């Protein structure tokens, strides 16, 4: 089955944006559900996001296996994406990242909470998943479906989950939403660290968060404005 | 009525400078009062400041509506600019930004205060406006004139207002002054955070602040030197 | 004896990567054991890593002296490399750096410990060497084999040693491993500083560290992916 | 009297280096004593350091007045340079900067002290000058010789002085030394802030500082290595 080229190009741009904004480095990946087959998703072969090109995008099944790997190595942690797409019909795009500013939250149990409106897309609650709870002493990578499904269970209906000693996973209704959630989660984490050292923090109320998150999937904040900006910064205007 | 091209070019450069200096990202905007019609102001259509060009600048009335939008989308929060120009005859330029370092001040109630001379242009007092006080649980955007006027009332005669969980708004007598105030407010916020963790902070005295702020609207610090510098960094030497 | 060109090219790329990632500045250096003669190692003449080219790479003996300096100045601290290669047959590459984020750990005695999986390559324990313990008041440089051997003794069988008031030294089984260890040690240091201010830190357990460090010398994390990424960022795609 | 071109070129490069390394922004300046006339010094006209070119360099007397301004505006704070050259025959180069990381030290009275060897060039003691002590409420600029001499008196025989609510001034025996002192003072300030939050800091001992500072005026650390590096980063290889 042919995959249309436009979604693939957009996925490549998403890879480059996440690299340019410091949310991923040599590691991390972003995927989207196949536009024509909801039981499949698109994800790069094992390359760093900054280097991903159109030819690197492969098709995967919801068990995490490539439909046809074309001889390429695949990400060890592709199961993260598979399990989120499997469990969450509402999710069309997944980002997994070691977003640096979020790491201290995962290892101290400090709740990561949206502190300003553009970060509302993290969701009101960001649960923390600890692989050690069910799988004991591992290398912390999510290396199979059992581990990935356990992470997804902790994620529940939330938009994001912190992975202790590892990073974050985000599931969103659009690729744009997943990408911008990763960017602003990382920024919120840095600013929340600073605010907590300054005094008592007034977070967005649950009602404010619920109102503000609507902006991320439509209207002004969900529209072309930020995508055009991030794409330009990532050097992808011509793509 | 024709708008002269030179002010429009300067406004475009101001957009690019704010992006280059990290004061705005995909969001944020800067405006100037129309040089010939004080009841109008110039502001980009809905684009990220880094991407704004001469053709994007539109003319607005003081009720926040575009005189002629030429089919372009407009910023939802254009009312911020309208209300400041409406209330403050002394203001010729307005910046609205989510300047990251200032966010923790808005959500902790820690007074943001000038700590070194180039930041004196923030003003001696930076009030904090909380949209929830009068408008309850919103998405925190300033979406109409009533909200914008409420913000402007809290701003009062000050040069800057913090918006809780959102960002800042600055009104100044020149575009250069508004832009450099935004840049140095962001820097002062970062350094004030550090200083507060180190011990008791000696801020500029009110008298020192009053003396130093004069430099931002004329003389050495208000002259061409920093504008040439920022314009160069923003890649606008040829503009 | 001729040194093959490929390892020399890789060593040049390693220099550029460390500069690009902010682990070295004008100071710092990286070496590799000679591929054909384990009693020799390759190291640049006295140049900043960002500027090192193929012609700058010299061959050194395990006493720290150049086999043939070709009239070039050599690094004063070449003894660091010599002593690590001398003491540790398992080490094939050495990085010495003033990695900025690690400096506060060396001067406060705060144990630097891996907090997330990609930083496991620092090792479970990072000892601190203080040159003053045996050599009194010096300029802190490692200026001879006696000082370098003392540092190596403190390093022991660990992968990394902190040098009080100075920097770090890393010994690893591959050049890629040494380089990425330096990069992630610096990042872990910054994030650990933040986490410690937020609360009790859950570090990788010794078992998790032992599992995760295996990834850095083989398999997914030790493979080409991150090297290609770092090389690209360092502008060395064509090298 | 003709000024040789080589020192002027070097001074231009010093300007660009300080800008590239974030020690100066639109403000700040660097000067050198005239190589042939010790009662004069070379300093740019009123331009931001990043933009300074060979034609911008003017000659000044030790009272702070330009020998021939060639119609150019001059820095208001040129008196800082004049007073240091006047009082300190050992000083051949002066940097004045608002080095951001040092500002919190000036306003909290926290002693800025060298914590690692490359920062030893700050000197063992960095006094803090407060313009208000003798001149009351000013705009904090050093606007005449009386203020500049008062600052220089507080500086004494030290290599650097903190100016409360303003910045730093450095006097050194070579331009290279002044430039690198400014760069590493800024870095030391950032890392010292972090270290102080982590616990008791072990600074360089006075003996270690005295040994390490020798490296900045000769030998390995005072040689061409770092200058070549900084010049390259500043885009001045061809200059």
C100 to chain D, any CB pair closer than 8 A? The answer is yes
B211 catalytic, yes or no? no
In this predicted structure, the answer to whether residue B219 has a pLDDT above a threshold of 60 is: no
Band (B32; pLDDT cuts 50, 70, 90): very high
- Cα distance from C215 to chain D (closest Cα, Å)? 31
D interface test, pick of B23, B113, B117, B212 with most D CB neighbours within 10 Å: B117
D204 to chain C, any CB pair closer than 8 A? The answer is yes
A138 to chain C, any CB pair closer than 8 A? The answer is yes
Mean pLDDT of chain D: 95
D235 to chain C, any CB pair closer than 8 A? The answer is no
Confidence (pLDDT) at A222: 52
- Chain C: touching chains (3 or more CB pairs < 8 Å): A, D
CB A8 within 8 A of CB A37: no
Rounded Cα gap, residues D109 and A8, in angstroms: 57
Confidence (pLDDT) at A4: 85
Confidence (pLDDT) at B220: 47
> What SS3 state is found at C133?
helix
Pick the residue from chain D with its C-alpha nearest to B213: D139
In this predicted structure, the answer to whether residue D220 has a pLDDT above a threshold of 50 is: no
Confidence (pLDDT) at C63: 98
D138 to chain B, any CB pair closer than 8 A? The answer is yes
Q: Tell which residue, B78, B68, B21, has the closest CA to residue B47.
A: B78
Confidence (pLDDT) at C122: 97
Counting every residue written for chain B, the total comes to 239
Which residues of chain A make contact with B50, given a CB cutoff of 8 A? 229, 232-233
Band (D221; pLDDT cuts 50, 70, 90): very low
Q: For residue B137, give the nearest of A187, A190, A207 by CB distance.
A: A207
In this predicted structure, the answer to whether residue D218 has a pLDDT above a threshold of 70 is: no
- Is pTM, for the whole model, over 0.95? yes
Band (B159; pLDDT cuts 50, 70, 90): very high
Structural domains in chain C, CATH included, are 5-233 (3.40.225.10)
- CA distances (Å), origin C239, targets C8, C51, C234: 11, 14, 10
- Chain D: touching chains (3 or more CB pairs < 8 Å): B, C
In this predicted structure, the answer to whether residue D234 has a pLDDT above a threshold of 60 is: yes
Q: In the structure encoding, which two tokens stand for residue D118, read together?
A: 């490359």
B136 vs D220, which has greater pLDDT? B136
D22 to chain C, any CB pair closer than 8 A? The answer is no
**DSSP string of B96-121, one letter each residue:** EE--GGGHHHHHHTPPP---SGGGGG
Rounded Cα gap, residues C106 and C117, in angstroms: 22
Instruction: Give per-residue pLDDT as tens, D104-137.
Output: 999 999 999 999 999 999 999 999 999 999 999 9
Chain-chain contact of B230 with D132 (C-beta, under 8 angstroms): no
In this predicted structure, the answer to whether residue B2 has a pLDDT above a threshold of 80 is: no
Which residues numbered 37-96 in C keep a CB inside 8 Å of some CB on D?
Answer: 46-48, 50-51, 73, 75-76
Tens-level pLDDT at each residue, chain A (239 residues): 567 899 999 999 999 999 999 999 999 999 999 999 999 999 999 999 999 999 999 999 999 999 999 999 999 999 999 999 999 999 999 999 999 999 999 999 999 999 999 999 999 999 999 999 999 999 999 999 999 999 999 999 999 999 999 999 999 999 999 999 999 999 999 999 999 999 999 999 999 999 999 987 655 445 689 999 999 999 999 88
Sheet of D128-129, strands arranged across: D57-61, D40-44, D29-33, D93-97, D167-172, D160-163, D128-129
C107 to chain D, any CB pair closer than 8 A? The answer is yes
Q: E-strand spans in chain B? A: 29-33, 40-44, 57-61, 93-97, 128-129, 160-163, 167-172
Tens-level pLDDT at each residue, chain C (239 residues): 567 899 999 999 999 999 999 999 999 999 999 999 999 999 999 999 999 999 999 999 999 999 999 999 999 999 999 999 999 999 999 999 999 999 999 999 999 999 999 999 999 999 999 999 999 999 999 999 999 999 999 999 999 999 999 999 999 999 999 999 999 999 999 999 999 999 999 999 999 999 999 987 654 445 689 999 999 999 999 88
Q: Tell which residue, B202, B160, B161, has the closest CA to residue B178.
A: B160
Which residues of chain B make contact with D20, given a CB cutoff of 8 A? none
Confidence (pLDDT) at C15: 98
Q: Tell which residue, A98, A161, A84, has the closest CA to residue A129.
A: A161
Confidence (pLDDT) at B239: 86
Mean pLDDT of chain B: 95
Catalytic residue, from D77, D86, D101, D211: name it: D77
Name the pairing type of β-strands D160-163 and D128-129. parallel
CB B114 within 8 A of CB D137: no
Rounded Cα gap, residues D182 and D108, in angstroms: 20
- CA distances (Å), origin D185, targets B55, D98, D112, D182: 45, 12, 9, 5
Pick the residue from chain A with its C-alpha nearest to C220: A76
Q: For residue D225, give the nearest of C48, C110, C193 by CB distance.
A: C48
Chain-chain contact of A191 with B103 (C-beta, under 8 angstroms): yes
Band (D216; pLDDT cuts 50, 70, 90): confident
Q: What is the ipTM of this complex?
A: 0.96
Instruction: Give per-residue pLDDT as tens, C101-120.
Output: 999 999 999 999 999 999 99
Q: For residue C225, give the nearest of A47, A141, A197 by CB distance.
A: A47
Rounded Cα gap, residues A127 and A112, in angstroms: 9
- Chain A: touching chains (3 or more CB pairs < 8 Å): B, C
Q: E-strand spans in D144-214? A: 160-163, 167-172
């Amino acid at each position: 089955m042919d995959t249309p080229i436009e979604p693939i190009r957009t996925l490549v741009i998403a890879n480059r944006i996440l690299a340019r904004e410091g949310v991923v480095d040599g590691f991390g990946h972003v995927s989207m559900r196949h536009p024509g087959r909801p039981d499949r998703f698109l994800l790069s072969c094992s390359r760093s996001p900054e280097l991903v090109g159109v030819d690197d995008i492969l098709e995967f099944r919801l068990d995490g296996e490539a439909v046809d790997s074309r001889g390429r190595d695949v990400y060890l942690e592709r199961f993260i994406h598979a399990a989120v797409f499997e469990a969450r019909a509402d999710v069309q795009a997944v980002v997994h990242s070691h977003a640096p500013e979020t790491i201290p939250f995962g290892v101290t149990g400090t709740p990561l909470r949206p502190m300003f409106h553009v970060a509302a897309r993290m969701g009101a609650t960001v649960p923390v998943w600890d692989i050690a709870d069910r799988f004991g002493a591992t290398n912390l990578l999510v290396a199979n479906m059992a581990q990935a499904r356990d992470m997804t269970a902790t994620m529940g209906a939330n938009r994001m989950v912190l992975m202790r000693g590892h990073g974050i996973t985000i599931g969103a209704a659009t690729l744009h939403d997943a990408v911008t959630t990763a960017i602003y989660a990382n920024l919120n984490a840095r600013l929340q660290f600073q605010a907590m050292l300054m005094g008592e923090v007034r977070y967005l109320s649950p009602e404010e968060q619920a109102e503000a998150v609507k902006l991320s999937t439509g209207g002004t904040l969900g529209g072309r404005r930020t995508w055009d900006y991030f794409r330009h910064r990532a050097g992808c205007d011509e793509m």
